[in-house]
Amino acid sequence: MNEASPDSAPAVDVAQAVRQRRVEVAQRKPEADADVNLQHIQVCNYSFFYGTTQVLFDVNMDIPERRVTALIGPSGCGKTTLLRNINRMNDLIDGIRHQGDILIGGQSVYDRYLEVISLRKRIGMVFQKSNPFPKTIYENIVYSLRVAGRNKKAELDETVERSLRGAALWDEVKDRLKESAFSLSGGQMQRLCIARAIANRPEILLMDEPCSALDPVATGKIEDLIDELKKEYTIIIVTHNMQQAARVSDRTAFFYLGKLIEYDDTQTIFMNPAEEQTEAYVSGRFG
Amino acid sequence: MKQVDDHAAQSTPRPSAPASGSGRPAGETYVWVTGMGLTVGLTMIVLLLALVVYNGVSVFWPRHVALVEFQDDGATRFRDGTRALGVILIEQDRDMRDLTPEQRDSPNPADRREKQLFLGNRDAFGQSFAYFSAGDIERVSYPEEVIRAERMEWGDAIFFPIRLELQDADPIEADDPAFDSTLHKLVDEVNARRAAITRIERHAIGQINLQMRDLELEERFYSRQDALTPEQQAARDSVRDRMEQLRAKYEPLAAEAAALRAKQEENRLVYRLVTGDERSMPLGQVVHYYYPNRLTLAGRARLFAGHIWGFLSGYPREANTEGGIFPAIFGTFVMTLLMSVAVMPFGIMAAIYLREYAKQGPLVRAVRIAINNLAGVPSIVFGIFGLGFFVYFVGGNIDRVFYDRALPTPTFGTPGILWAALTLALMTVPVVIVATEEALAAVPRGVREGSLACGASKWQTIRYLVLPASAPGILTGLVLAMARGAGEVAPLMLVGVVALAPNLPVDAIFPFIHLERKFMHLGFHIYDLGFQSPDSEAAKPMVFATTLVLILLVVVLNLLAILVRNHLRKKYATDKF
Ligand SMILES: Nc1ncnc2c1ncn2[C@@H]1O[C@H](COP(=O)(O)OP(=O)(O)O)[C@@H](O)[C@H]1O
Ligand SMILES: [Mg+2]
C-alpha cells in the first residue's frame, strides 16, 4: 500500500512522530535522559504584550536548577507576568502576544507538540493570595493526582503525608485531614497551597509573593520551607521583601519597567550591584 | 461650603423648605420613604396570608349549629316559617339600599345588621346560604339533637333525626339509646362498601377498560385492512378471543359492583328539616355525620383533623365543590417535579456554556439579554407555544410514528402532563440560567487558576470545583423556578390541566407514570371553584382552603430545596470565598 503511493508514507510518519514526541515529552524524566534537564529554565529574548501594551522587554535569563531565584522590582514591572508565562497561566487572558521563547529543559513551553496540561503538571504554582479549594484538606492535596486519574488510596495517602511534611504542615493538621481547608489559619492555608503544589512531584516551583499576606512567624516558616524545598525543586519566587530575597535566594533578578536590569548571584546584587538602579532599589531609595 | 449646600438641596428637592435647612442629613427622608415601601408591602402580604390562613383553616372547624327564631311580627321569614337552622358564619352591616326607611332610622342598631347562615340541605332549599336581618331575630339556641351529615350529593344536610328504617329489623327511633351506635355502625359499613366499589370500578374495571381499548384499536386496524394474510387473520382471531375473555372477566365484576350499590340503598334515615318537612335518604349517601352541638372540645379537634385529612386525601365530588383535592395536590406535585427534572440540566448546561466556554462578546451579550427578556414574556404566550409546538407538532408526530393505530384518537398529540411540564420548564429556564450564571461567576478566579495550575483541564475544573461550589446558588435558582412553576395557571390551561381528571398521572397500572394523561392542578382548581362553579358562595370556603394548600405546597417545595441547598453548602463551601 505504501509502495502504491509513496507520498502518503511521510504523512503517516509525521502523525506517528507527533504521537511519539508527545509520549516522550510527557514521560521524560531527568534520570531517564541525562542531557535533558527539565528543571533548567531559559528565557530567551522574551517580550510580552497585553493587547497593545508591552509589559516585558527582551528578557534573557538562565535559571539554574535546584536553586532559588528571586524576582524583585517595583510593582507593575512584570514579575508576575513572567512567572505566569512559565506555566502558561496567562493563556486564560484574551489578546496576549509574545516574542522570543521560554525553554524548559531545552523545549519551548510554546512547543506545539506540548500539551499545556502536561506542562502544568510538571510545574507547581503558589499564588500570592492563598487559594485553597472548597474541599477538605486531604482532597486539596490529592487534587492534582485525581485530575490525572490516579485514585489509588495508598498512593493518595502517601502523597498527602509526604506533601504535608514537605510543607511543614503535617504535625499541625494530621488529625484533621477530613476537615475543610477553610478551617486553617492564613499561614497554614498558604502552606497547604505549597503542599498542593508539590503533591504531584513537579520539577519546578513558581511562587508569586507567597508571604505577602502573612505574619512574620508564618513567613519565617515558609522561608525555612523554601530552603528545604530547593534541594529537590527549581524555585522561582517573586517577592517585594528585600530581606526575604537576600535570605532565601541564590540568584536575584531585578526588573524595572518590564526590563531585566540586572541578574546575578544574590550576594552580588545586594552587596555589589553593577547598575545604579539596582543599588537604589535594594537599598530602599526607591520602590 | 456653598457648593456642598447646593448639592444637598439638589438631592432632596424640598421646594417649601428653607434653603438653610434644619441640618438633617440629605438622605434621611428617603430612609422613611423606602422603609414605608417595605412596611406597606409586608403589611399587605401578612394580611393576605392571615386572611387565607384564617378562612382556609376555619372551613374545617366543626362549628355549632344554631336554631334561629324570628319575631312573629317581624318581616323576616324563612320559607314561610319563623325558624332557620344553620351555622352562623358572619354578622355584617346591611347594604343601605336594602333598608326600609323605618329600619334606617331605627334606634336599634341591630335592625341595620344581618347574619349569614349556612343552611345546608341544598336539595330541599335550593340554596345553601341565607341572610337574615339581625333585628328580627328573637332567639338563638343550640339544640343538642341536631345532626350535620356530609353527603355524597347535594352537600351537607343539617336536620333533626327521626328514625332509622332498616331492611331487616324494626325501625329505631331517634330517642332510642341504640340509635346513635347503630347509625355509626351503618355509616362505617356504607363507607367500607363505597371503598370496595371504588376499588372494583376504578382499578379492576379500569384496568380491563384500558386493555379493552388497546384490543379494540388492534381490532379496528385489522378490520380496516382490505385483505388479511393468514397470519393477520390468526392475530385478529386471537385479539377477538382476548376481548371475549376480558368481557367474561368484566361481567362478574360489574355484577359485584351493582350488588354493592344496591346494598347501599337498603337502609334509610328519616329526618325532619327546620321547616317541618320530613325527608329521608339512603344511608349510602352519608359520608360522615356528627352532632355539632354535643361535641366536646377534644371531639371537635378530632373532627377538625379528620376534616382536614379528608380534604387533603379525598377525591373531589359534585363539580369539585365537595370532597377533597388530592388529585390536584398530586398533579401539582408531579408536574412541578417533572418540570424541575426537565429544567435543571438544560438551564445548567446553557449557563455553563455561556459563562465558562463562550467567548464573551456582543453575541453572548445579545443571547443573555434575550434570555432575560424571555423571563418577562407573559406566561400565556408560553402556553400557546407549548400547545403549538409540544402538543400539536411533537406530540402529533409521536402519535404518527408510535401510536398510528390509535389515530385519529390522539395519544400524545393532546394536552397532557408531560407537555405541561415541558412548557413550564421552558418558561422557567431563564430563571435557572440567570441564577446559575451568577453562581458560576461567584466562584473566585483564584480557585480556577489553582485548579488549572494543578494540571486540571477546564472541564475538570468545572466538574470538580466550580459546579460543587456553585451548587447552592444553582439550587436557589431552581427554588425560584419551582415556586414560579407551581403557582402558574394560565399556560397550563392550554397544555394539560383539566378541572376533573379521571385518573392520576401516576398509578399502579403499567407503565405507572402516564405522561400523556391530563391532570389536575391546585391553581386551576382555585380558578375552577371560584369562577366556574354554579354556586360560588358555596365554593368560597373551598377556594380559601385550596389556596392555603397551594401556598403550603410551594412553601414545602421551597423548604425542601433550601434544606438540600444548606446541606450542599455545608458539604462544599465551608467558608465564603
Ligand atoms: N490581565 C492583564 N491585562 C492587561 N494588563 C495587565 C494584566 N495583568 C497585568 N497587566 C499589566 O502588566 C504590567 C505588569 O504587571 P505584573 O506582571 O502583574 O507586575 P508585578 O507582578 O511586577 O507587580 C502592569 O502594568 C499591569 O498593569
Ligand atoms: Mg505581581
Q: Do residue A134 and residue B573 have CB atoms under 8 angstroms apart? A: yes
Ligand 1 midpoint to CA A211 (Å): 19
Q: B130 — contact with chain A (CB < 8 Å)? A: no
Q: What is the 8-class DSSP label of residue B315?
A: P
**Cβ–Cβ contacts within 10 Å for residue B303, how many?**
17
Q: Do residue A120 and residue B454 have CB atoms under 8 angstroms apart? A: yes
pLDDT at residue A6, as a whole number: 43
Instruction: List the domain boundaries for chain A.
Output: 37-282
Return the residue of B nearest to A180 by Cα.
B574
Q: Is the pLDDT of residue B170 over 70?
A: yes
C-beta A287 within 6 A of ligand 1:
no
**DSSP H helices in A70-201:** 79-86, 116-121, 137-147, 153-166, 170-173, 186-198
- pLDDT averaged over every residue in chain A: 85
Confidence of residue A17 (pLDDT cuts 50, 70, 90): low
Cell numbers placing A93: 487572558
CB within 8 Å of chain A, chain B residues 424-453:
444, 446-447, 449-453
Cell numbers placing B390: 409540544
Q: Is the pLDDT of residue A13 over 70?
A: no
| Superfamily holding A37-282 | P-loop containing nucleotide triphosphate hydrolases (3.40.50.300)
Q: Is the pLDDT of residue A258 over 80?
A: yes
Q: B74 — contact with chain A (CB < 8 Å)? A: no
pLDDT at residue A8, as a whole number: 44
Confidence of residue A18 (pLDDT cuts 50, 70, 90): low
Distance CA A139, CA A221 (A): 23
Return the residue of B nearest to A135 by Cα.
B572
CB within 8 Å of chain B, chain A residues 112-141:
117-118, 120-121, 123-125, 127, 129, 131-135
Confidence of residue B135 (pLDDT cuts 50, 70, 90): confident
Confidence of residue B1 (pLDDT cuts 50, 70, 90): very low
Report the nearest-CA residue for atom 4 of ligand 1: A50
Q: What is the 8-class DSSP label of residue A136?
A: B
Neighbours of ion ligand 2 (CB under 5 A): A 80
10 Å CB burial of residue B386 (0-12, 13-18, 19+) is buried
Q: Is the pLDDT of residue B13 over 60?
A: no
Distance CA B284, CA B190 (A): 6
Confidence of residue A9 (pLDDT cuts 50, 70, 90): very low
Bridge pairing between strands A68-72 and A234-238? parallel
pLDDT at residue A49, as a whole number: 94
State the nearest Cα–Cα gap between A205 and chain B, in angstroms: 11
Question: Three-class SS of residue B137?
Answer: strand
Count the helices and strands in chain A (H runs, E runs): 11, 10
**Backbone dihedral angles phi then psi of residue A101, each to the nearest 5 degrees:** -155, 160
Amino acid at B525: H
For residue B213, how many C-alpha atoms fall within 13 Å in the half-sphere facing its CB? 10
Most confident of A235-244, B5-14, B226-235: A235-244
| CB-CB contact of B165 with B315 (8 Å) | no
DSSP of A19-67, one letter per residue?
HHHHHHHHH--TTTSTT--TT-EEEEEEEEEETTEEEEEEEEEEE-TTS
Distance CA A41, CA B123 (A): 98
| CB-CB contact of B436 with B477 (8 Å) | yes
**Cβ–Cβ contacts within 10 Å for residue A8, how many?**
11
Interface test with A, best of B445, B449, B452, B454 (most A CBs within 10 A): B454
Q: Kindly provide the residue ranges of all beta strands, DSSP E only, lying in B414-482, ordered along the sequence.
A: none
Q: What is the pLDDT of residues B49-92, one digit of tens each?
A: 999 999 888 888 999 999 999 888 877 888 888 899 999 988 88
Distance CA B463, CA B448 (A): 11
List the single residue in A134, A182, A196 with the smallest CB-CB distance to B454: A196
pLDDT at residue B400, as a whole number: 82
Of B570 and B48, more confident: B48
pLDDT at residue A7, as a whole number: 45
Distance CA A275, CA A260 (A): 11
pLDDT at residue B232, as a whole number: 83
| CB-CB contact of B52 with B548 (8 Å) | yes
Q: Which has the closest alpha carbon to B60: B297, B321, B287, B310?
A: B310
Q: What is the pLDDT of residues B186-228, one digit of tens each?
A: 999 999 999 899 888 877 887 888 788 888 888 887 887 777 7
Cα B58 off chain centre by: 17
Distance CA A120, CA A126 (A): 12
C-beta A85 within 6 A of ligand 1:
no
Q: Which has the closest alpha carbon to B328: B340, B317, B312, B352?
A: B312
Q: What is the 8-class DSSP label of residue B534?
A: S
pLDDT at residue B25, as a whole number: 58
Cell numbers placing B104: 334606617
Bridge pairing between strands B278-282 and B172-173? unpaired
List the single residue in A123, A133, A182 with the smallest CB-CB distance to B450: A133
Ligand 1 midpoint to CA A54 (Å): 10
State the nearest Cα–Cα gap between A92 and chain B, in angstroms: 9
Question: Three-class SS of residue A274?
Answer: coil
Q: What is the pLDDT of residues A92-111, one digit of tens each?
A: 888 899 999 998 888 888 88
C-beta A93 within 6 A of ligand 1:
yes
Looking at A45-49, A153-157, B4-8, B457-461, which range is the least confident one? B4-8
Topology of the domain covering B326-576: MetI-like fold (1.10.3720)
- pLDDT averaged over every residue in chain B: 85
C-beta A80 within 6 A of ligand 1:
yes
Q: B102 — contact with chain A (CB < 8 Å)? A: no
Q: Is the pLDDT of residue B421 over 90?
A: yes
State the nearest Cα–Cα gap between A117 and chain B, in angstroms: 5
The whole-model pTM stands at: 0.78
Residue whose C-alpha cell is 378530632: B302
Which ligand 1 atom sits closest to the C-alpha of A258? Answer: 14
B408: preceding bond cis by omega (within 30 degrees): yes
Most confident of A199-213, B298-312, B318-332, B539-553: B298-312
